Structure 1
Amino acid sequence: MSDAPQSSGHAPFAVRPRWWWLAPGLVLAVVLYYAVGMRLAHVVDADPDFAPGPVAAGQSRAAAMAAQLIFREVDRHRWVANDPFFQPSAVLDDMPAFQIGMVGAIERFARTLDGLAADAGGGPDANLARAAGLLKYPGRVWMFDPRTSWAPTASSEKQYRSAARDLVLFNDRLQAGEARFERSPEALAALLAAARDDLDALAETAHAHSEAVSWPLFDGDADDLFFAARGRAYAWSLLLRELGWDFAPLLAQRDLGSEWGAMLDSLRAAARLDPVAVFAARPDATFLPSHLAGQGFLLLRARAQTADLAAALSR
């Protein structure tokens, strides 16, 4: 009779690999990497006192402000809207929306300024036209854009940095007498009309979204719309503040200083809104706030003030 051990019919106990206990630590490390990285990267800079730096006689303070805002966002704070998934900032949504909103306002300003230069004679300004074109570049393009090609391409921040340099070159040419910057009532009215139309579109978008949302508590788009509008309002508040200095003699001559200040106050109020969470409830909601409606009110007030100023300058 054989002395070999008889099988019990059960598989022997599986020995776990020695590294199995590293899995929870790895998960924790990934969570901390994204959580801490997001916190360090997140910067929504709505400083109302941000200045364009030294501006030489004959240059445009508004053009200098546009350039410095771009440099600040792409270099000092870093452009995050196009960050790939392996960077913690890729999970952010408020900061990217704010940055993209700012660039949208600056693009509108540069495009209007270029149109004024063309209307004044001599055709479009090369630097302004190039800056406006570069600022229309999508804000979420990294080193590759799979929507068009897998070949390496220009990143958003590279295009925006080039646009800022063109604005600086325009100011240099302006100082040298090689570029034109109309300081007439018609020119300022046109710049105000550009801001008015931009603010009008923002308020309309916010209203349409609030009307369409059925479950505002689970609305994932409200904060993106809110911060994009906030970025535009902030950029316009600084651009128009500096335009007030560019056109100071004209505003003093027309006695529009107090109206100009009231318009800037409305834009600053819209740019200052910073709720912990954004809700897009209906304006008559009982339990949830309507941050988009509150922001829209301030935007429409600023819009009305820009329209009144443009009308006063056109008379």
Structure 2
Amino acid sequence: MLNPVVEFVTRIFQWIGRAIGMFIAWLCWPFVLAGRWYTRRGWIVRIVIGLFVLVLIGLYANFFWQTQRWTDFNPDYAQKYDLKDRQASAGEETPAVQATGASQKVCARSAIVDASADLTDFNVNKNQWISSMILYKLGFFGLDWDRTPFFDNKASFQRGINQAVRRTSVELVDTLGRVRGTSQVDADLQDARGALQFDEYTWYLGWNPPGPKTPTPSYYRTAIKKLRAFNDHLAACQATFDARADNLIQFIDRIANDIGSTSAILKDRAENHNNGWFDTRADDRFWFAYGQLYGYYGILTAAEADFDSVIKEKKLTTLWDDMEGQFRSALRIQPFIIANGREDGWIVPSHLTTMGFYILRVRSNLVDIKAVLQQ
């Protein structure tokens, strides 16, 4: 009685095996044809093509390694600054030290500027900037890597960090690095902002206009130098950091709006494209939001030190610590595969909805802090 069942199951597996074999043959067919063509060529052509293939293999090996290796990635990195013990706002004069027998003025550095420079250094020096790599620009057989389920997570994460640093650089130029927004713009901050606004995808060659280009990482490295130069001048009391309550209010408001926009993007993707494990854009949306929170975590932790007198005067320490706790909770979410399931689903999770929830929690904390500052 079991023979028909066994035969049926056997046929099913045979069909599956044939289908897999046909699929593999279809994948290998172009390479088989290329191999036959290659073996019929002369030795000069074969050497040239062989070298090209070896270079291509090397590029892909490096691309794979760079996209999978996240050097110095640390979701709790802001704690390394040890800012809780600092008792001076950014730009505030600290007790003088003796240098060559004479008193020398010393002011507190800006932790926000240090964090911005370190985050950019993390993106382009400690790691390779993925978005401007030639193979990332070429895509997967012409398909944008962001539209595939692989090799794009780190690029999206880096762009999320860069978004936070870009937003911060604008505020440094427009308000924080000037006296009441009316004094002369600091040249170092201005140069840093210009460099950080540069396109994220430029390689050594481009088509618009055609010709050689300065790649994106070079501009960002320039921004690092300019940010550190500003802080050196600030430490020597030769630059300005306007650590007033109204500047902090504006800074917080701009960040709240920035992450609020990201929350809306996550919401749209979660509601209109919830294809579970098969949403190939869910991962880059998730990791961009993650990178943005990663960047703002360090920048806002630094802001507590830079606005030390304002935080203490308004008794905001507890609220600020709660906000930092929300950042740390969000950054603990690191799923191996990003799924965009239905919100009421019970098998496939909705990682975008989860990340959107934590973004709104952080934004709610920012709104609460802003309300206290305005009192």
Q: Structure 2 length normalisation: TM-score?
A: 0.71
Counterparts in 2 of 1:85 and 1:33: CA distance versus 1, 3 Å: closer
2:133 maps to what in 1? 83
Mapping for residues 64-213 of structure 1, pairs under 5 Å: 64-85=114-135, 92-116=151-175, 117-118=177-178, 119-146=180-207, 148-213=208-273
**Residue in structure 2 matching 1:297, options 335, 357, 362:** 357
Q: Distance in 2 between matches of 1:252 and 1:314?
A: 15
Question: Alpha-carbon deviation of 1:41?
Answer: 4.5
Deviating more after overlay: 229-238 vs 158-167 = 158-167
Closer/same/farther in 2, CA of residues 72 and 52 from structure 1, 3 Å limit: farther
Shift of 1:47: 3.5
Mapping of residues 264-275 of structure 1, within 5 Å: 264-275=324-335
Task: Tell me which moved more, 49-58 or 199-208.
Answer: 49-58
- What is the match of residue 77 of structure 2? 49
Does the C-alpha gap of structure 1 residues 53 and 71 become closer, same or farther in structure 2, counting only changes over 3 Å?
Answer: farther
Match of 1:38 among 55, 64, 67: 64
Match of 1:236 among 281, 287, 296: 296
Q: Which amino acid aligns with 1:234?
A: Y
Q: State the distance in 2 between where 1:204 and 1:211 align.
A: 11
Q: Describe the SS at the equivalent of 1:154.
A: coil
Q: Which amino acid aligns with 1:205?
A: I
Residue 217 of structure 1 aligns to a residue whose secondary structure is coil
Partners of 1:151 and 1:58 in 2: how far apart?
A: 45
In angstroms, what is the RMSD of aligned CA positions?
Answer: 3.1
Asked if structure 2 preserves the Cα contact closer than 8 Å seen for 1:219 and 1:279, the reply is yes
1:126 deviates by: 2.0
Q: Deviations over 1:99-143 (max 9, x none)?
A: 111011001011012111354331322222221222121211111
Residue by residue over 1:80-114, the C-alpha shift from the partner in whole angstroms, topping out at 9 and shown as x without a partner, is 22111299999620011111110110010110121
Aligned-partner Cα distance in 1 for 2:138–2:328: 30
Q: CA deviation at 1:276?
A: 0.8
Q: Partner amino acid for 1:95?
A: K
Unaligned runs of 5+ in 1: 1-15
- Determine if contact 2:66/2:127 at 8 Å carries over to the other structure: no
User: What amino acid maps onto 2:331 in structure 1?
Assistant: A
SS in structure 2 at match of 1:145: strand
Query: Could you say which residue in structure 1 is the equivalent of 2:285?
Result: 225
1:186: how far off? Answer: 1.1
Change (3 A) 1:70 1:28: closer
Residue 215 of structure 1, CA deviation = 2.6
SS in 1 for 2:210: strand
Work out whether residues 144 and 152 of structure 1, in 8 Å CA contact, stay in contact via their aligned partners in 2: yes
Cα distance in 2 between the residues matched to 1:126 and 1:252: 31
Going from structure 1 to structure 2, the CA distance change for 1:279 and 1:31 (only over 3 Å counts) comes to farther
* Distance in 2 (alpha carbons) for counterparts of 1:145 and 1:271: 36
Distance in 2, Cα, partners of 1:257 & 1:200: 23
Percent identity of equivalent pairs: 24
Q: Aligned equivalents of 2:244 and 2:38: distance in 1? A: 78
Look up the SS of the partner of 2:247 in the other structure. helix
Query: 8 Å contact 1:59–1:175 — kept in the other structure?
Result: yes
Give the total of aligned pairs: 296
**Separation in 1 of the partners of 2:221 and 2:254?**
23
Farther off after superposition, 257-266 or 47-56: 47-56
Is the contact made by 1:52 and 1:68 (CA closer than 8 Å) also made in structure 2? no
The corresponding residue for 2:339 is 279
Kindly provide the amino acid, as one letter, of the partner of residue 205 in structure 2: F
Q: Does 1:250 align with 2:310?
A: yes
- 1:66 maps to a residue whose letter is S
